[in-house]
Amino acid sequence: MLAVFWSADFASCVLMLTLNWRTSTGLPLPSPSTNEDVFCTSLFKTLLTSITDLLKTEELCHSLITSNEVTVPSVKTVQSCTPTMTRNSSCMMPSDLSFSESDCRRNIMKDLAYYGAAIHSYLQSPLHMPEKEAPPLNSILRVIQTLRTSCSSTANRGTDSSEVEASGLWQGDSFTNRQKMCKMMRGFHVRTITINRAMGYISSGDHRK
């Protein structure tokens, strides 16, 4: 899974596409219909909140990232989890993609595997401020692990190439690694917004009509 660097404009484009799924119709996101749906939807929301809090923390990331770049592993989740692609002058993306719930869920789990491996390996590296970095990252990692074990319909949860790649990200000094981690977490934040919207769309059942 190759890392991709997004500019602020492209990240905004992705956000616009994901947020338009149901806001364009004026409909609220549906309530999950099963206990498992409730549990998993709550966990995905917790994940988003935890990442948001991390990025807002002054000592960790808030004052550290000076550019508008975000780092994401791939765009497959955006492509497979967006039911209707929007085309305009700034967001030229294919408009004829069909929605597959199984593909969407599979790519979500691949993303969680990648970010989980990256965070785990980061925590094993020499940290710039371990007493401040470790607690929030460990909390995020626990949510990821629970999502992967409790909310995945994929039978094979073995290690894939993206997890191996993620485990080798931190080759610099502790300060450089923290800068890289914060850019990665900004990308994870954008991706988690996409995931939350996708899960809302799946819960709505619109793709089955």
196: domain CATH number is 1.20.1250.10
pLDDT at 166: 78
Are 61 and 132 within 8 A, CB to CB?
A: no
Domain ranges, residue 22:
4-208
Average pLDDT over residues 125-152: 93
186 Cα distance to chain centroid: 9
Mean residue pLDDT of the chain comes to 75
Most confident among 34-43, 77-86, 160-169, 172-181 (mean pLDDT):
172-181
The count of structural domains within the chain is 1
Instruction: Tell me the pLDDT band of 160, cut-offs 50, 70 and 90.
Output: low
Q: What is the tens place of the pLDDT at every residue in 26-76?
A: 334 444 456 667 788 889 999 999 999 999 888 788 777 665 666 666 777
Structural Rg of the chain based on CA atoms = 17
* Residue 193 CB partners (closer than 8 Å, separation 6+): 15, 18, 19, 48
pLDDT at 46: 96
